[in-house]
Amino acid sequence: MPNTYTQIHIQFVFAVKYRHGIIAPQGKQELYSYISGIIEKQGHKLLAINVMPDHIHIFIGMRPNQSVSDLLQDIKRNSSLWINQKGVVSDKFEWQEGYGAFSYSKSHTKAVIEYIENQEIHLRRSTFKDEYLDFLRKFEIDYDERYIFDDLID
């Protein structure tokens, strides 16, 4: 699109279905590369990614050629298929339905990248659910806690 200039920075956060902590550290780098490929193929720029055993943070510079929901559908569907085909986890893998998408100004990009890169440190102080609820409160997003996550199945 000629004469179209944008600067859109979005952090996506979503969980493994039922918050099972099944993504092992040894499979993270390949998963990063795979998801990065999905993002770049759509014309967006990956700024940071970190996969924890039960959730993921992705920070991108987003182009306006695609909706947030379409991009997340591509990422979640294709990465789930890839994880299952590669046998990255021992059980059937699925991402949780839904996601968080949080926008930032250019002046905040360095701090967001550092936050994502240091997820292991942040999660020593709180749970992923607490972290996610903090995002929703910080960004003043109305939510119903009943629909934040599916509970673990016993």
Q: Which of 29-38, 56-65, 81-90, 143-152 has the lowest mean pLDDT?
A: 143-152
Structural domains of the chain sorted by starting position, each given as residue range(s) with its CATH number in brackets: 9-147 (3.30.70.1290)
Q: Where are the beta strands (DSSP E) in the chain?
A: 9-15, 45-51, 55-61, 100-104
Does residue 24 register a pLDDT over 80?
Answer: no
Helix (H, G, I), strand (E, B) or coil at 95: strand
Helix (H, G, I), strand (E, B) or coil at 32: helix
pLDDT at residue 154, rounded to an integer: 43
How much is the CA Rg of the chain, to the nearest whole Å? 15
pLDDT at residue 35, rounded to an integer: 97
Query: How, if at all, do strands 100-104 and 55-61 pair?
Result: unpaired
Half-sphere exposure of 33 (CA within 13 A, CB side): 3
pLDDT (average), residues 127-134 = 88
* pLDDT digits 0-9 by tens, 100-113: 999 999 999 999 99
